[in-house]
Structure 1
Amino acid sequence: MSMFIRSKDKAPQLRSMTRDDMEEVREVGQIAWSDLATHDIGRKFKYPKRSERIIDAYLSNEPGGCIVAEEDGKIIGSAFAHVWGRIGWIGPLEVLPACQSHGVGKLLLGASEQHLRERGCEIIGLETMSHIPKHIHFYMSSGYRPSSLILIVEKVLRYEGRSTASVVEPGGAGIEGAMPAISRLSAKVNPLLDYSREAAVTVGKRLGNVYIFEEGGEARGAAIMHSYQRGEEASYSSIKALLVDPQAPNPLEIMSSLLSKCEQVSLEQGKNRLLTRFSGDHLQLYNVLLSHDYMLKGANVRMTKLGDYRENGSYHITSWAG
């Protein structure tokens, strides 16, 4: 890892990220997270670099939201802003340890917020680790307020043979045809939410898989699963989103079928664990996941600065974590 000594007399410059910045951005992230983990667990820890594939996807999906802070020609921080319909969220935001507490993070955060406002977002938020007071203070002092506890659960996978006959995969060119249904299902969870672009980039950039639960010729649920993680050798997949029509007569069946499909495909891809994050407001969902042998591993806190985010229904998964 490279060392960087910051000049106190120079203000960092912000600019849009390019693909040529990718390796430097990955290194900054690795140094920042390794330092955080080392202080958190009390021993030296080297965090893996973020996957090139996910950074490439961010650059393709929302290029104006990918921002770097630069000083003396070196990148000292970066931030990513994401747009899902009229909901915008920020993360990850990473700054070299030597440059923290000097306003670099605030500059990146402000630029990300400005981008989301210019994109028409009516809700702006993020998620951060609930047990790091420094992070909570940073965001609260920037005008964010805690809005929900986000539970992180994980399952050790095994073959269970549950039926997934109603679940189809609109991979490749078929994802374009599925996007209207994903938009409609998103809006039923929250009228401002739209996961369709996230689904398209998941398939287009080979981040994972998208599944649709169909009943009576109509899409009643959808799931977006990432299986690339931090390298093809990673042992787990993660569910980015699971949407269930809250007006459907059988929401629990829909959720269980989509969940089982994600588990089965993860096993087929050589993964042995499946991870997901969801709002702790949904006690029914938490109990269902426990009955499916998921275990609570940790928690984040969702924080918002603009708007009031609420979700309809009880059996869906949404996460604002990058």
Structure 2
Amino acid sequence: MKIAVRPLVESDLAAADRVFRLAFGTEFGLPEPMAFRGDSDLVKTRWRADPSAALGAFRGEELLGSSFAARWGSFGVFGPITVRPDCWESGIGKRLLEPTLALFEAWRIRQAGLFTFPQSPKHVALYQKFGFWPQALTAVMSKPVEPRRERGQWSCCTGNPASLRACAELTEQIFPGLDLQREI
């Protein structure tokens, strides 16, 4: 199968969203895989954060998978990487990882990370081929919450230079060069 990996453009986002929902919805065994994440818009949000870090795997004009990366100063994170379920086990995830990690090299990332399914040997093994090893299992916990009676006030951190400086000071202590201003 001849696959080309290139940056996603805005007209690719609807197809990338379909692949994202179908892949995760299928992996989680949802009766309606396309209902995964409801009305959220993760794909478009990740693309808008940095279009050059959103990659697609194409067979001709047909999108088979995508990968999103983020640069937070000297720290890089990638994901989600999604592949259409009918193309699983065909090497597309690996093909998407190679240029994603090349972005990290170009950005001079000093520490890179990702989140994956710890219960899935195939996912863990894929990332281990690229030098990523599990560091800690994360317990994902939930609790129902009561809706607030009063409405909170929104504030914009980007309009407050002191808040941005405080964030930069905090993240620098966590990891030298960690910078979340692009996300904020």
Q: Is the 8 A contact 1:37 1:45 kept in 2?
A: no
Equivalent residue number for residue 153 of structure 1: 141
Compare the two structures and name the one with the higher helix fraction: 2
Equivalent residue number for residue 18 of structure 2: 27
One-letter amino acid of the structure 1 residue matched with residue 141 of structure 2: V
Distance verdict in 2 for CA 1:159–1:128, change over 3 Å: same
Equivalent residue number for residue 8 of structure 2: 17
Equivalent residue number for residue 64 of structure 2: 76
Q: Is the 8 A contact 2:4 2:59 kept in 1?
A: yes
Mapping 1:1-150, distance limit 5 Å: 10-38=1-29, 44-48=31-35, 53-150=41-138
The number of residues matched between the two structures is 180
Q: Is the 8 A contact 2:46 2:68 kept in 1?
A: yes
Q: Which runs of 5+ in 2 are unaligned?
A: none
Q: Is the 8 A contact 1:27 1:49 kept in 2?
A: no
State which structure, 1 or 2, has the greater radius of gyration over its C-alpha atoms: 1
Q: Deviations over 1:96-115 (max 9, x none)?
A: 12222221110101111111
C-alpha displacement of 1:160: 9.1
What is the TM-score of this pair, normalised by structure 1? 0.51
CA distance in 1, matches of 2:87, 2:77: 23
Q: Which runs of 5+ in 1 are unaligned?
A: 1-9, 162-167, 200-322
C-alpha displacement of 1:48: 2.6
CA distance in 1, matches of 2:28, 2:41: 23
Distance verdict in 2 for CA 1:81–1:159, change over 3 Å: closer
What is the TM-score of this pair, normalised by structure 2? 0.85
Mapping 1:153-232, distance limit 5 Å: 153-158=141-146, 170-171=155-156, 174-199=159-184
Compare the two structures and name the one with the higher strand fraction: 1
SS for the counterpart of 1:75 is strand
C-alpha displacement of 1:195: 1.9
CA distance in 2, matches of 1:172, 1:88: 22
C-alpha displacement of 1:73: 1.1
One-letter amino acid of the structure 2 residue matched with residue 18 of structure 1: V
Q: Deviations over 1:62-105 (max 9, x none)?
A: 22110000102110000001111110011000011222222111
